[in-house]
Structure 1
Amino acid sequence: MDGFAGSLDDSISAASTSDVQDRLSALELRVQQQEDEITVLKAALADVLRRLTISEDHVASVKKSVPSKGQPGIREAISMSCITNGSGASRKPSHTSSVSIARKETLSSAAKSGTEKKKEKPQGQREKKEDSHSNDQSPQIRASPSPQPSSQPLQIHRQTQESKNSTPTKSIKRPPTAEKSHNSWENSDDTRNKLLRAVSTSKLISKVIKNADKHKDVIINQAKMSTREKNSQEGEYVKMFMRGRPITMFIPSDVDNYDDIRTELPPEKLKLEWVYGYRGKDCRANVYLLPTGEIVYFIASVVVLFNYEERTQRHYLGHTDCVKCLAIHPDKIRIATGQIAGVDKDGRPLQPHVRVWDSVSLSTLQIIGLGTFERGVGCLDFSKAMIIPIQDKRKIKRKDSGVHLCVIDDSNEHMLTVWDWQKKSKGAEIKTTNEVVLAVEFHPTDANTIITCGKSHIFFWTWSGNSLTRKQGVFGKYEKPKFVQCLTFLGNGDVLTGDSGGVILIWSKTTVEPTPGKGPKGVYQISKQIKAHDGSVFTLCQMRNGMLLTGGGKDRKIILWDHDLNPEREIEVPDQYGTIRAVAEGKADQFLVGTSRNFILRGTFNDGFQIEVQGHTDELWGLATHPFKDLLLTCAQDRQVCMWNSVEHRLEWTRLVDEPGHCADFHPSGTVVAIGTHSGRWFVLDAETRDLVSIHTDGNEQLSVMRYSLDGTFLAVGSHDNFIYLYVVSENGRKYSRHGKCTGHSSYITHLDWSPDNKYIMSNSGDYEILYWDIPNGCKLIRNRSDCKDIDWTTYTCVLGFQVFGQFI
């Protein structure tokens, strides 16, 4: 029973686990979409309530008014409101920004004071209003969502003493939800009504994203602020929207004209220098040695080409989401990599596809499969055999191998497609099976044969033109394995498969007429069985000299087999590196090994193994840089805390902690580092010895940010319980005592920064809030945010704020 459990674990670790993770990712995306939908519905409801309140106020003011010289002004205001809010057929579509809404409500409020007040206004203001009115009536082309300089002038609101003294006689009261969720849909009743009628979550979310991006530019919106806020806040501010949330950023006093500080994007570009880690936990057959002496592998959306002798890396960055498989062209120069489906930063879907690229120039040669593959690309392979198409009866043209590419996607039916990748044309397509498919290979000598294997099956496909026909491998008297894990080919064309039972099977093609009832001529049948490993056979590698390397799962052994498939030598991979996921031939007598704990090892049977690449085995959440050394620290879901040397690109030390880490920060002295976990506990470790210095708990939810003050006398801990916990730090970061708690955010803390004098904290939250805190006076929330516009900050890690406006959003 134990053997069965171990075998099953080995079998499904790279297939079923990947499928479960994909489904979990899909569920997480769906939950996020539903949360966005709720936000939209709240915003629409709040807008309806606001409009009802305005309408009631207008009706009440009309009933109470006595006909006078000011009456035409009231009629004008009511007429304007009806034109904007009405749904008659004569209503013009709204193409303007939220400025028109602000103007509309200002008109309605001003009308209550009669036309006499309007007559007292300077001529210049009257002309400005008339210009605004004419602009509101004509469609405008929106500026780019990016807050970068554009041809459309920036609109800034300046609060003056005159505007403060001329407040409306009756303030408009709005529900708190309307204050937070009021957004750009108020420009168009039609758009909002369509959103409310929408049934499809995906359609609704796409409308949210479209409108949020459309209104990322800066706007005036005095009407969005309550009367109390308008009376208490002074100065200029810029406002933008993120997913329907208004974000107000006050302009510092030393900025006289915002247009003067708007600049073009800097010409400098960031270049990726180094990637730490390798994806071996849930992938296979993804480590190869190129003729350039580089090891090629992938992690996340980056394909890495690592020269272990020169300690240099190059990177192919063409993919838009995680890479899951890799194939090498027979010329050893061109490479094909397949990626999963995903979404971009704006929520738009990214389609799975395959990229064929040049490993020397790192240039993309072809992109295939856009709109064809579902969920992702599971495995792929280049054709290897020489193809000899007959042009006519007299001429025969010979083509090089590698012109075709076969691909298995991650759909339920695991579709097999064959492509002429240079022409970007699909030659054939067929459903394979509803079970997991783990490998696909072109036969090296028969160009018309493709083999796939996976859960409880091996299929031999005959490809002719635009059709594929399947013949299932029959195990007969041999035990049928739960998984056929891998396959390769012998020099004579026989097929070798490794399975979850630790067995290697040799499949030979029949060339004689079979006995009646024994099957047709030309099918592959099992000719030999070899017990190779305890547990599963995870990888097979045919070497240049004709010998064979096999890698086991449970026993972690690499075995060298001679030409007659007799075991010659073996070596065991140490337990701390995990089980074997990929084996490739290296230089001379060396071989490369990729493991389930994301190590890439280089070894020989005589000298053992040397680590070339290593990284975390689960999602990495926390990152901190040393204040004055070339060191960086990472913490992840795998509970590993790693200290890296960023110059030599190697691991200094690692420590296993009790819980998954989510955030970290170094003390300014560099002697200790604080690490926050997913449960509310946080640790302080010695940066040199990795010893535990202190341990504390704040709440019972995930900690999202740790930040020491400039002099190291305070530590701020941001949590998913919406609080910021403050600690007094002494003894050079080794003693901590609670100082207070910042309460006021309506969502989890995402970022925070200290002022140099330790008096103030600026923080961002998950619902795009920008709040400021007075630390000496009891960690109180500063209500008047304009008072903080001239504060300097030690760091600018917050992604929302005037100082970083245009960099992150």
Structure 2
Amino acid sequence: MPPKPASKSPIIKEPTWNSEDKYIRMHLKGRPVPLYAPTNIEDEGKYDVKAPQNPPAEQLKLEWVYGYRGRDCRSNLYTIATGEVIYFSAAVVVLHNFEEQTQRHYTEHTDDIKCLAIHPDQVKVATGQVAGHERKEGKPHVRVWESINLTTLHVIGEAEFQRGVCCVSFSPVNGKQLLAVDESNDHVLSVWDVSQDKKHSKITDSKSSGDPVTQCEFHPKEENQIVCCGKSQITFWTLEGKKLDKKAGIFGKYEKAKIMICFCFTENGDVVSGDSSGNIFVWEKGTNKITKAVPTAHDGGVFSICCTRDGTILSGGGKDRKIIAWDAEFQKTGVENEIPEEFGAVRMISQGPGNMILVGTIRNCILQGNMDLNFTPVVEGHKDELWGLDVSTSQHQFLTCGYDRHLYLWDAQSRSVVWRKEISDAAHCCCIHPSLEIAAVGLQTGKWLALDLNTHEIIAVHTEGKEQTECIQFSPDGKMLAVGNRDNYIYVYEVSDDGKKFHRVGRCSGHSSFVTHIDWSEDGEILRSNSGDYEILYWRPKTCKQETSKDDVRNRVWATQNCTLSFQAVGVWPDDADGTDINNCSVSHDKKLLVSADDFGKVNLYEYPSIQPKATGHSYQAHSSHVTMAKFLCDDSRVISTGGKDMAVMQWQVVA
């Protein structure tokens, strides 16, 4: 057969300027998109579509991360020498001092972090990530770094790992070796020499298992011993020089569970494992045989086991959400605790600062406490894909909503949850009234609801078809509400009785695809909207009629800059954009800065208006998923961003 012709790169059509009608024509997926400029655009000289636009003097600095990745990761919650608690969310490792309520961040990763290990010196840290967005830096790898000054010491395995790294562990005593488990089909276990400051080398590797591996660690008292567990297996490895030998765990008279979920090491070096059937098994140091068994220690799987400083063993359950204390003979001490259902099952138990116990949960929360008292949340987060965000017009507070059917009101100054509320359906968008203490929330089911921000009570529910509410926005005076739907329509409501009543004015019909963004003009007379097929339409909201005269809309001053397709935001689009790359943009209240959220995990900052297609901005990586929304707080001091599938909320400080 003749060789296939080389694939051609798509031809990128440069934006062009029509000086007669004063508009830029850009192309998205080959479709021309006209963006009309104000008529005074050339009052101070001829507009040059190819002219550059410099980034703003201001920058963003990551200040706070809300959330913890507990839904699908374990062995990711520890205390280090500084007294800080270390964990990860999205592409950020968080070093959190609970007492002083401060955070530091390691931000050198480019995508989802999946595993974490602490060096025996309690200072160095290893973290592993999945394949990322960038072709080079986005390859799966392990980073070894120093937690005092957050400097990177080693970047390991960029040409070795396939999909991601699911487990890492330092060798005991001196930590000169590091093991890593790849998420490839064979779950290859590799051992690396990390003893030198600037060089590292692979010592050996071996196929581990064709099934998922849940935990893999060096034995703390045996320099050359490694324990690994996962689906249908627990294995005991011996590292001799450059050779790895393994022995499978022998269950004897005990039934092997489907998944060996977790293990820990006792003070004398025994291995204690927990499985999906709720059993706890003890494997004597140096053997691969069970020497003690505690059948059905939990109702459902044992999700975590921890040996505390005083030698007590704590086991955490999934289904029963219980934490049970065991003595050295694996008899119950009589001390138990149950995690409240709202925070989810136990994901990981860890020794915290002092005598505190830390509990990470599958609902992305971290709790702190001890076995004699209740555990209280110190970190909370969303538990499913996150899209909805809006900011208060007068306070340092913001509202988020997601597919986990939860609303959160956060305070950016105390960096804490003000309140949380569970609702009936998955939520996709939200907006806060400009003067009243109410918010509107759009749901995936075609419904939208209004609720009181003080009482958290739902005060109105309306249904517009069965498709998702894509965007929702109050008018600047708060007297009207526009609801953009996936059914291609915009529904307009009058707001009365202090926000308690909503009367539908009508339906704006004209889009040929779903409505993605809505802006009101400052005088409330005009709506503009974007759609999924890159259309920009304008409306008279009081009549729901389309406004087709460009001269009636091009000079309007807009209260918001939600629409990613507009002349004032043309600079946020990359040259090879396909129309879905930019999920959201938003202007600061002083109309000097523009922030955008993109599909590549980045938050971007530009001058406003960003009217040059060649505009450059500052880009910031912290999210590991598509960034769904980014908005300025009421005083423009900070930007809040939300990650879609990473479910993280990030708070960025605006610095000059």
TM-score of the superposed pair, with normalisation by structure 2: 0.81
CA distance in 2, matches of 1:269, 1:198: 45
CA distance in 1, matches of 2:238, 2:59: 49
Match of 1:24 in 2: none
Higher strand share: 2
Aligned residue runs from structure 1 range 512-523, under 5 A: 523=287
Is 1:402–2:190 an aligned residue pair? no
Shift in Å, 1:708: 0.8
Show CA shifts across 1:3-25 (max 9, x none). xxxxxxxxxxxxxxxxxxxxxxx
Shift in Å, 1:779: 2.1
Show CA shifts across 1:651-705 (max 9, x none). 2222221110000011122321100001110001011111111111112211111
CA distance in 2, matches of 1:581, 1:778: 51
Structure 1's 627 and 787: CA in aligned 2 closer, same or farther, altered over 3 A? same
Match of 1:711 in 2: 477
Answer with 537-546 or 273-282: which moved more.
Answer: 537-546
CA distance in 2, matches of 1:463, 1:768: 58
Match of 2:228 in 1: 452
Shift in Å, 1:454: 0.8
Is 1:418–2:194 an aligned residue pair? no
Aligned residue runs from structure 1 range 8-27, under 5 A: none
**Secondary structure, in 3 states, of the residue corresponding to 2:342?**
helix
Is 1:534–2:299 an aligned residue pair? yes
Is 1:308–2:98 an aligned residue pair? yes
Structure 1's 509 and 291: CA in aligned 2 closer, same or farther, altered over 3 A? closer
Is 1:289–2:79 an aligned residue pair? yes
Work out whether residues 674 and 706 of structure 1, in 8 Å CA contact, stay in contact via their aligned partners in 2.
yes
Structure 1's 574 and 788: CA in aligned 2 closer, same or farther, altered over 3 A? closer
CA distance in 2, matches of 1:243, 1:424: 45
CA distance in 1, matches of 2:450, 2:37: 38
Show CA shifts across 1:740-795 (max 9, x none). 2222223222211111222211222223322222335542142x546532111111
Structure 1's 718 and 462: CA in aligned 2 closer, same or farther, altered over 3 A? same
Match of 1:726 in 2: 492
**Secondary structure, in 3 states, of the residue corresponding to 2:60?**
coil
Instruction: Note the residue ranges of structure 2 that are not aligned, 5 or more in a row.
Output: 575-656
Show CA shifts across 1:506-558 (max 9, x none). 22356xxxxxxxxxxxx522222234333322212223343322222233222
Work out whether residues 742 and 781 of structure 1, in 8 Å CA contact, stay in contact via their aligned partners in 2.
no
Match of 1:760 in 2: 526
CA distance in 2, matches of 1:614, 1:799: 31
CA distance in 1, matches of 2:426, 2:136: 30
Work out whether residues 506 and 543 of structure 2, in 8 Å CA contact, stay in contact via their aligned partners in 1.
no
Shift in Å, 1:349: 9.7
Work out whether residues 265 and 307 of structure 2, in 8 Å CA contact, stay in contact via their aligned partners in 1.
yes
CA distance in 1, matches of 2:186, 2:67: 32
Q: CA RMSD in A?
A: 2.5
Shift in Å, 1:439: 0.5
Is 1:244–2:244 an aligned residue pair? no
Shift in Å, 1:342: 4.0
Show CA shifts across 1:258-281 (max 9, x none). 359954211221112222221212
Structure 1's 198 and 327: CA in aligned 2 closer, same or farther, altered over 3 A? farther
Is 1:462–2:211 an aligned residue pair? no
Work out whether residues 446 and 485 of structure 2, in 8 Å CA contact, stay in contact via their aligned partners in 1.
yes
2:163 to 349, 368, 375: 375
Is 1:800–2:565 an aligned residue pair? yes
Match of 2:637 in 1: none
Instruction: Note the residue ranges of structure 1 that are not aligned, 5 or more in a row.
Output: 1-193, 223-232, 386-400, 511-522
CA distance in 1, matches of 2:482, 2:147: 46
Show CA shifts across 1:730-749 (max 9, x none). 22322222222222223222
Is 1:299–2:75 an aligned residue pair? no
Shift in Å, 1:578: 1.7
Show CA shifts across 1:694-737 (max 9, x none). 11111221111101111112211111222211122222322222
1:549 to 294, 299, 314: 314
Q: Which has the larger radius of gyration?
A: 1
Shift in Å, 1:594: 0.8
CA distance in 1, matches of 2:496, 2:137: 49
CA distance in 2, matches of 1:563, 1:235: 82
**What is the identity, as a one-letter code, of the residue corresponding to 1:762?**
R
CA distance in 2, matches of 1:496, 1:269: 49
Work out whether residues 505 and 542 of structure 2, in 8 Å CA contact, stay in contact via their aligned partners in 1.
no
Match of 2:59 in 1: 269
CA distance in 1, matches of 2:40, 2:327: 78
Shift in Å, 1:481: 1.8
CA distance in 2, matches of 1:800, 1:357: 41
Work out whether residues 726 and 738 of structure 1, in 8 Å CA contact, stay in contact via their aligned partners in 2.
yes
Work out whether residues 170 and 177 of structure 2, in 8 Å CA contact, stay in contact via their aligned partners in 1.
yes
Match of 2:112 in 1: 322
Shift in Å, 1:407: 1.3
Match of 2:594 in 1: none
Match of 1:361 in 2: 149
CA distance in 2, matches of 1:717, 1:575: 34
**Secondary structure, in 3 states, of the residue corresponding to 1:576?**
helix
CA distance in 2, matches of 1:243, 1:313: 42
Work out whether residues 15 and 24 of structure 2, in 8 Å CA contact, stay in contact via their aligned partners in 1.
yes
Match of 1:480 in 2: 256
Shift in Å, 1:457: 0.8
CA distance in 2, matches of 1:573, 1:269: 41
**What is the identity, as a one-letter code, of the residue corresponding to 1:258?**
Y
**What is the identity, as a one-letter code, of the residue corresponding to 1:527?**
T
**Secondary structure, in 3 states, of the residue corresponding to 1:460?**
strand
Work out whether residues 536 and 552 of structure 1, in 8 Å CA contact, stay in contact via their aligned partners in 2.
yes
Aligned residues: 563
Work out whether residues 312 and 327 of structure 2, in 8 Å CA contact, stay in contact via their aligned partners in 1.
yes
Match of 1:5 in 2: none
TM-score of the superposed pair, with normalisation by structure 1: 0.66
**What is the identity, as a one-letter code, of the residue corresponding to 1:635?**
C
Shift in Å, 1:570: 2.7
CA distance in 2, matches of 1:708, 1:509: 65
Match of 2:591 in 1: none
Shift in Å, 1:247: 2.8
Shift in Å, 1:348: 9.5
CA distance in 1, matches of 2:110, 2:332: 43
Is 1:558–2:323 an aligned residue pair? yes
CA distance in 2, matches of 1:590, 1:234: 70
2:69 to 279, 289, 292: 279
CA distance in 2, matches of 1:698, 1:631: 29
Is 1:626–2:392 an aligned residue pair? yes
**What is the identity, as a one-letter code, of the residue corresponding to 1:790?**
N
**Secondary structure, in 3 states, of the residue corresponding to 2:414?**
coil
Shift in Å, 1:476: 1.3
CA distance in 2, matches of 1:761, 1:404: 61
Match of 1:578 in 2: 344
Structure 1's 426 and 769: CA in aligned 2 closer, same or farther, altered over 3 A? farther
Work out whether residues 492 and 544 of structure 2, in 8 Å CA contact, stay in contact via their aligned partners in 1.
no
Match of 2:610 in 1: none
CA distance in 2, matches of 1:658, 1:509: 51
